[in-house]
Structure 1
Amino acid sequence: MFIEERILTLFKQNWQHTLTYWSVFFSFGLCIAFLGPTILDLKCQTQSTLQEITWVFFSQQFCLLIGSSIGGVFKKTLFSALAALFLSSLIISVVFAIIPFCYNVLLLAVAMAVSGLAMGIIDTIANIQLVSIYQKDSAVFLQALHFFIGFGALVSPLIADPFLSEHCMGSNSTENITEFMHHLRNSLAGSPMNNISQYHIPAKPDEEDDTSVAYAFWIMAFINLPVPIAVFLLMYKEKLIPCCPNSTPRLLDKDELAMETQGAEGQETAEVEAGGHGDLFSCCQNDNLRGLPPSFFLIHILGGMVLFMTDGIVGAYAGFVYTYAVSSPMSLPHKTAGYLASIFWAAITAGRLVSIPLAYRFKPVRLLMINLAGVIVTVLLLLILYTSNVFLFVGTCLLGLFLSSIFPCMLAYTEDILDYQGCATTVLVTSAGMGEMVLQVLVGSIIQTAGSYSFLLCGMIIGCIGFGLFIALLLCQRVHRNYLTGTSKKSPMEEEPAPEKTEEKQ
């Protein structure tokens, strides 16, 4: 068979949990991609300047980072994990529903900050729960999990596109609209301009334009509603709803079942949870960390730095490929260049889908090596063929394919090294979000001062640094393995009496 019977058995035992975690990642993708195509309408709706509307992006990304950092604290019991997922996915629907009523940029920024916090919690918990369930077989399921981000990110712009207003300025002058579009595109892409932050939208658009985009947000809110319902049904099945009889004794049943399917003891799971591996701060404060070797900490740091670089490339490329395309020497038409970001996200989605069977056939470390090398080669070819319009589209597609599976592969690989303690997931998710936020700002600043060609040069440098950090991670993994062999421990976090418990249970 294409998939081992053992993995199919694991999936059958945990299918409802798995599908639920996949569905909440669809909410994540749905929420992360709608700002781009609707930014003009939101700018008109809030009657704000460009400088003010950019805080909406920052508020979402910053709170996403906070949510990723603290999200792991909810995984201590199955009830707290599912309750957090239920509230987070429900909040996303509520935010979609109230965005059309945010006529002030501050209210819009607050709404997006709340959605970013919910997205960060979803990101951490769903990854941790899948790793806890499938452990050494988690690579395949993590690839599928991250496919749903791309799927949601593709659906969101498609829903919004028919409702976008082309005359939201409330003016009959096509020249004014064209001029404003030109200024806004360049500003979002990072090009230098004069006095664009003082460009104001006239009073209030026509009623038809004012309300049409609201339907897009309400449709997305409605489409997202089955996700919290699915989480609620899972809680009901596990008897975790407070009104259900005998709900309290079932709080940790699922955690124990997940460990038993891997041949481990449910009691060991409780010990790991008691160790404090939940959020980023508890990982740093745990008393059990005192006796660990430096290699244990270096694996977390190096793995996080690799994702800091690669997710930074994703954010920077999606944000500034338009600038590079419309600038000299490419000088593509604005409409043609606008397709590049869509192609990039489509390639990431397709790459994650293709990586599902690849993750079953190949070890994560091998896929990581191929993908990181592919990123460097692709950016190098883009640098060499910088005048080729055709290869810009081809290279964009290839880059999306190579970047698509780096995060889930790194997550599976690092947790495998550390024997699935859970702390690495929180560190990696936080590092990836930080890289996407920081490097996007850094690359944008460099493009403004050094020109559009520096865009690809930055990508090349970041890719090489990421590859070097990955080589260092491989060396650190070997040192850590020698330490475990020398101390005769399966994991530095594991207690020595664990084998005796197994014998007693047998």
Structure 2
Amino acid sequence: AAAQKLHHAQTPAESEPVAVASRRSGRARSVLRWFSTAVLYAAFLGLGMSVAILGPTFQDLAENVNRNISNLSLIFVGRATGFLCGTTIGGILFDHMNQFFLLGASMVATTVTLYLIPFCKTAVLLIITMSAFGASVGVVDTGANVLILALWGDKGAPHMQALHFSFALGAFLAPLLAKLAWGTTASAQNHTESDFDPLMLNRTSEAATDSVFAVPDDMNLLWAYASIGTYVLVVSVFLFALFCEKRSKQKKSSASAQEVRRAKYHRALLCLLFLFFFFYVGAEITYGSYVFSFATTHVGMEESEAAGLNSIFWGTFAACRGLAIFFATCLRPGTMIVVSNIGSLASSFFLVLFDKSPLCLWIATSVYGASMATTFPSGISWIEQYTTLTGKSAAFFVIGAALGEMAIPAVIGILQGHYPDLPVVLYTCLCSAIFTAVLFPVMYKLATLPLERQRKGRRKSEDQKALPTSSRLNETAFEVVTSGDMMMGPKSAFPLSSLPLRKATAPTPGHTWTKGTHTGG
């Protein structure tokens, strides 16, 4: 008893340093997690700027390689092809390499390609460089989504919204940066007109053979890409710093990563999410790309009004992604997807119903942009609740989104040319909204039913485990009661009232009783 009292007296004194150390380590882990999240936000901000800088500088790049814009459209195909390859390779590597190191290396590759793009003097070299840029961007896009879920788990919905808001913010800042750092001069405009001169084309082609890689004539183009590339390089330094910090804790993280959730229909859910993102992203890019031409040709708007209509679509898109950070703290990802589907379905329906009304076009476009904003990050957060996403699985549905971005606008452009009097763009948005609105309940049912069955199976297994335990306790109690020579100590030391005895004690026919045990017939 004295030793026990001494032990209780020493335990609080010894446990105080342990508690203080655990609190300090918990704070350090929290600070490191928030710092890692901020670095990922910065990486996606640079990703948005580097992807969106191509639009306002496309004319300058065409002049730099002495080509027309129509002859340089393969640059988008090259970037999209590289993005698909980078997403696939990155999804595989993220399951076998340190994620922060792979992200840092991909950001360095993005920096190198951004530095090289203004120096390309031939169209072939520019397309190859743009393909390498798309591959590095695809790795970063896949890895950042996986890392946010790995850092925050079930609490990652607001951070996923913030991550994609950072991308939208970067895409919004890129044209402003390009306009501030790049100016059109009269010589540049004259140079554009001279592209159609055959003699000038022959001279530039001969010069291109001598200088395939040279300093651009317009230095503002170089500064525009170099500024974004420098920012991306600075972010990569922080990613490598996180790699050095996480390297010592790699064993712990790998041990904890073994405890994963996996739905019964894991592959079916990923395939359905592939289709969901294919149509969602395809409709989003299609409307954002064709709303200007649709408003001018089909509705009869002025170009300034059509440009404002295009701006309000992307403006409400970026604004709602920012507001979704706060909405995600109180709403589940599935609820946000349902609200977004209802908004996109209603707005696209009114667009088709009143396709000639400018007022309806303004209102429905703003609602449609707001409704499309939160679907992609909410979809990633939703699927993580039921099955753990690895690099391969994340790459799979990102590829679906990229294919939708490539295929649907191309098909709609062909159909719109064959049927110029029909609002093909609006029909596409309505069909995509109907498809996603029908597909999500199927995905939800497929994801939740296996969980209920698993819970019932766990309850049955727990009951089965509990029943032999109680029977063993009853057998032990019966042994103590029936075997007088096995009673140890006085009766007060072993109260029979504490034993979990059943009320029925009479033997049943067909049973033979022995000392302390029984056997069933």
Q: What's the TM-score once normalised by structure 1's chain length?
A: 0.76
Aligned to 1:435: 404
- Describe how 1:57-136 pairs up with structure 2 within 5 A: 57-76=76-95, 80-136=98-154
Return closer, same or farther for 1:407/1:422 CA change in 2, 3 Å cut-off: same
Q: Distance in 1 between matches of 2:120 and 2:241?
A: 32
Structure with the greater alpha carbon radius of gyration: 2
Q: Which residue of 1 aligns with 2:341?
A: 372
Aligned length in residues:
422
Alignment CA distance shift 1:168-1:390 (3 Å): farther
Deviation at 1:437, TM superposition (A): 1.5
Whole-angstrom CA distance in 2 between matches of 1:220 and 1:152: 10
Counterparts of 2:316 and 2:184, CA distance in 1: 28
How big is each residue's C-alpha offset from its partner over 1:12-36, in whole Å with a ceiling of 9 and x where there is no partner?
4511211122121112211221111
Deviation of 1:268 after TM superposition, in Å, equals: 4.5
Q: Which residue of 1 aligns with 2:165?
A: 147
Q: Residue 413 of structure 1: which of 382, 385, 392 is its match? A: 382
* Counterpart selection for 2:245 from 237, 248, 254: 237
Shift of 1:201: 7.6
Which residue matches 1:183?
Answer: none
2:257 maps to what in 1?
A: 269
Corresponding residue number in structure 1 for 2:3: none
Partner in structure 1 of residue 273 of structure 2 = 303
Residue 225 of structure 1 aligns to a residue whose secondary structure is helix
**Which of 305, 315, 318 is 1:346 aligned to?**
315
Pick from 9, 12, 26 the counterpart of residue 45 of structure 2. 26
Q: Report Cα offsets for 1:75-105 as digits up to 9, x if no partner.
A: 336x621121112112222222222111111
- For residues 55 and 172 of structure 1, what CA distance do their matches in structure 2 show? 22
> Residue 56 of structure 1: CA displacement?
0.4
CA–CA distance in structure 2, aligned partners of residues 408 and 382 of structure 1: 25
Alignment of 1:173-322 (within 5 A): 210-238=218-246, 240=247, 249-253=248-252, 255=253, 267-270=255-258, 293=264, 295-322=265-292
- Could you say which residue in structure 2 is the equivalent of 1:485? 455
> Any idea what SS the aligned residue of 1:488 has?
helix
Q: Secondary structure at the match of 2:94?
A: helix
> Where in structure 2 are the equivalents of 1:422-501 lying within 5 Å?
424-451=393-420, 453-488=423-458
Residue 169 of structure 1 deviates from its aligned partner by 5.7
CA RMSD of the aligned region, Å? 3.2
Name the SS for the 1:426 alignment partner.
helix
Contact map agreement 1:44 1:201 (CA 8 A) in 2: no
Provide the rounded CA distance (Å) in 2 between the counterparts of 1:233 and 1:367: 35
What is the DSSP-based 3-state SS (H/G/I as helix, E as strand, rest coil) of the residue aligned with 2:190? Answer: coil
Shift of 1:426: 2.7
| Residue 400 (str. 1) matches residue 369 (str. 2) | yes
- Offset at residue 219 of structure 1 (A): 2.2
Runs of 4+ off more than 6 Å: 7-10, 200-204
Cα separation, partners in 2 of 1:345 and 1:138, compared to 1, 3 Å: same
Q: Residues 172 and 215 of structure 1: is their aligned pair in 2 closer, same or farther, counting only changes over 3 Å?
A: closer
Structure 2 counterpart SS, 1:418: coil
Q: Distance in 2 between matches of 1:20 and 1:306?
A: 29
Query: 2:71: which partner in 1?
Result: 52
Letter in 1 for 2:441: I
How far 1:298 sits from its partner (Å)? 2.0
Inter-partner Cα distance in structure 2 for 1:98 and 1:423: 30
Asked whether the equivalents of residues 41 and 168 of structure 1 are also in contact (C-alpha less than 8 Å), the reply is no
Counterpart amino acid of 2:332?
Answer: K
Task: Could you tell me which runs of 5 or more consecutive residues in structure 2 were left unpaired when the two chains were aligned.
Answer: 1-25, 205-214, 460-521
C-alpha distance 231-9 of structure 1, shift in aligned 2 (>3 A): closer
Change (3 A) 1:487 1:426: farther
Letter of the aligned partner of 2:257 in structure 1?
Answer: T
Cα distance, 1:398 vs structure 2: 2.0
Gaps of 5+ in 1: 1-6, 181-195, 241-248, 257-266, 278-288, 490-506
Asked if 2 retains the 8 angstrom alpha-carbon contact of 1:24 and 1:227, the reply is yes
Distance 1:313 1:368, change over 3 A: same
Matching residue of 2:177? 159
Distance 1:8 1:479, change over 3 A: farther
Q: 1:376 to 1:9 in 2, by over 3 A?
A: farther
| Distance apart, 1:296 and its partner CA | 2.7
Q: 1:251: how far off?
A: 3.0
Task: Report which stretch shifted further, 384-393 or 365-374.
Answer: 384-393
Contact 2:168/2:318 (<8 A) preserved: yes
SS of alignment partner, residue 327 of structure 1: helix
For residues 252 and 208 of structure 1, do their structure 2 counterparts lie closer, same or farther at Cα, with a shift above 3 Å needed? closer
Is residue 36 of structure 1 aligned with residue 35 of structure 2?
Answer: no
Q: CA deviation at 1:311?
A: 0.8
- Aligned-pair CA distance for 1:8: 10
CA 1:110–1:252 in 2, change beyond 3 Å: closer, same or farther?
Answer: farther
Letter matched to residue 476 of structure 1: L
Counterpart check, 1:14 vs 2:22: no
2:219 and 2:203 map into 1 onto residues whose CA distance is 15
Q: 1:421/1:219 Cα in 2 relative to 1: closer, same or farther (>3 Å)?
A: closer
The Cα of 1:421 is off from its aligned counterpart by 5.6
SS of structure 2 residue aligned to 1:417: coil
| Mapped contact 1:150–1:346 kept (Cα < 8 A) | no
Query: In structure 2, how many angstroms separate the alpha carbons of the residues matched to 1:454 and 1:10?
Result: 52
Q: Tell me which amino acid in the other structure corresponds to 2:72.
A: I
CA apart distance, 1:317: 1.5
State the TM-score, normalizing by the size of structure 2.
Answer: 0.73
Q: CA, structure 1 residues 449+166, in 2 after alignment: closer, same or farther (shift >3 Å)?
A: farther
